[in-house]
Amino acid sequence: MSRSDPLIDAFLDDLWSTKGLSDNTLSAYRSDLCHFEHYLRQQGLTLLAVSQTEVRGYLAFRLEQDFARSSSARLMSSLRRFYAYLLHKQQIATDPMALIESPQLSRQLPDSLSESQVSRLLAEPDVDDPLERRDKAMLELLYATGLRVSELVGLTMEQLSLRQGLVRIVGKGGKERLVPLGELAVAEVEAYLTEARQILLGYKQSDVLFPSRRGQMMTRQTFWHRIKRYALRAGIETELSPHTLRHAFATHLLNHGADLRVVQLLLGHSDLSTTQIYTHVARARLQALHEQYHPRA
């Protein structure tokens, strides 16, 4: 599976040019389709010689191999888009995915942090250290805006307007959105720009807003590991993910009365149903508070 089938390459090129999908999303599609192509090859078949029977056989094979239901759901999405593309290009006569249903997924509540935990996390970086001053600004900005970590580390100077208190984000599918920063985030980013950024850059010119120790754009994995280190120092035992502060941002907004559609716009969700899972989070927190404090709960 070291080389992709030309059909897969053509499909991914089409997605990249027409949908503007991220490298991570395209990589996930490639992985799903290459594994499926490898399975077909072992059956003496090709991607163009597939019926519902082969697709169902592959799903049964994955079930036997104990693949997660969520990964099978993603696979189904990959196969649906791929075979819709082939049908549109008239490379197949019928769509083998037409009558196949995706596995039902339980709605899992995203991991989040309480407001006190967020406060402890944000207070942890040592602002006298240039790297930690940078991290402090990044954490404040992340919690203030609900950005994806990939959006945060990819920020450039031209996307930021401290005077207006806004950051311009190009999210999934190339969609732009303007997100307000808030006074605390603006103050922390200003302090970082004044005290630390040029030190990290070695006083060289760069458009990267939050450069690494080497003066280059940081990877999201690096920043995630730094978040976990601050959480450990702050005594936070909650399991963290790269999106933990994004989830906290949405949950805390809803807990304080924000409109769901406003949260949808701020998060950059194209579909309101994606945002609605946070109403379950907020409702669960409110129910827990009621049970804890109401005398007749």
Residues labelled as active-site residues: 148, 172, 243, 246, 269, 278
The answer to whether 156 and 208 are in contact (CB under 8 A) is yes
List beta partners, residue 156. Answer: 208
Question: E strands of 82-140, at which residues?
Answer: none
What tokens were used for 95?
């769509």
Q: For the beta carbon of residue 94, count every other beta carbon within 10 angstroms.
A: 11
Phi and psi angles of residue 166, each rounded to the nearest 5 degrees, phi first: -135, 155
Residue 269's Cβ-side half-sphere holds a number of Cα atoms within 13 Å equal to 18
| C-alpha span between 257 and 268 (Å, rounded) | 19
Q: For the beta carbon of residue 287, count every other beta carbon within 10 angstroms.
A: 11
